[in-house]
Amino acid sequence: MNRREFIKTGVVAGSALFLSHPFRLLAATEGQGACDLVAVRGGGAAEMFRRGIAEMGGMGGFVRSGQTVVVKPNIGWDTPPERGACTNPELVGEIVRQCIAVGAGKVEVLDHTCDLWKSCYRSSGIEAAVKEAGGQMVPANSRRQYTSVSIPAGKRLKDAKVHRNVLAADVFINVPVLKNHGSTRLTLGMKNLMGVVWDRGYWHRNDLHQCIADFSTFISADLTVMDGYRVMRTNGPRGVAEEDVALVKAQIIARDPVALDAASARMFGLEPDDIGYIRIADAMKVGSKDLEAITIRKVKVAG
């Protein structure tokens, strides 16, 4: 049972290569027409998203008038944007703005943070960006905000407590930030979904990669946007200093969460199979890691 069925039923690498050629390892089909994934580089975070979402057919293809949208960035750490530990606030603000422009009734932004949530929301710059764009910041720091759900396809993760606003949303947009991680090598889109559950400590104790893939069989974002503007190369997920971060100015946008994570791994200089949860999610048919089988459009933004 996926998120929508739950609602309906009422069930409660080398860094040198990475930095100089961030899209070299992506298969690509250039030109007009439908595409499965867009890889954007150059320019500001907001401008990259505007160009990228246009290539995907525009935000109107994902959000309809009156719908409630939940946007899930990584806001886990009480650090400024320059540290690259949290999603770029300009990107989050632009996503909110685009949703409202096509008629969204409400746009909510949330994350179950690791550091104190109020400080994370403020220090990341995301709270200010979301409010300026017309969205709402929603806390995720109380057990009362979560509902227990079953994960029928899960092998290790059989149930989870999921934030109620995510379960109730008409549209769910996942906005991770690409970075190194001590436990999983990389934080990518599927791992970013840990920020909508209450009891994620269980995942770390019971095969983290399998639990990430298991949860992805239940929660499927309508759109995933990988923030590669500032990329934490080392000492993730929180980072130690600005020296851990490279200014890459990149974004990847896709519907398929496995394809997006596979492309993001390659952008980092790794292969999809190097990341356990990508390999497992592909085998569980959450999506496809075969980038050669999809249409990828590359977009270069000046600046």
CB atoms within 10 A of CB 14: 10
The CATH number of residue 33's host domain is 3.40.50.11440
Q: Domain limits at 11?
A: 3-300
Distance CA 194, CA 191 (A): 6
Q: Are 75 and 121 contacting, i.e. CB atoms less than 8 angstroms apart?
A: yes
Distance CA 70, CA 4 (A): 14
In the chain, what is the straight-line distance between the N-terminal and C-terminal CA atoms, in Å? 44
Distance CA 166, CA 108 (A): 9
Per-residue pLDDT of the chain (303 residues; tens, 9 = 90+): 554 554 334 333 333 334 444 444 444 444 455 789 999 999 999 999 999 999 999 999 999 999 999 999 999 999 999 999 999 999 999 999 999 999 999 999 999 999 999 999 999 999 999 999 999 999 999 999 999 999 999 999 999 999 999 999 999 999 999 999 988 999 999 999 999 999 988 999 999 999 999 999 999 899 999 999 999 998 878 888 888 899 999 999 999 999 999 999 999 999 999 999 999 999 999 999 999 999 999 999 986
How are beta strands 37-41 and 296-300 bridged, if at all?
parallel
- The 3-class SS string of 183-250 reads CCEEECHHHHHHHHECCCHHHHHCCHHHHHHHHHCCCCCCEEEEEEEEEECCCCCCCCCHHHEEEEEE
- Total number of domains in the chain: 1
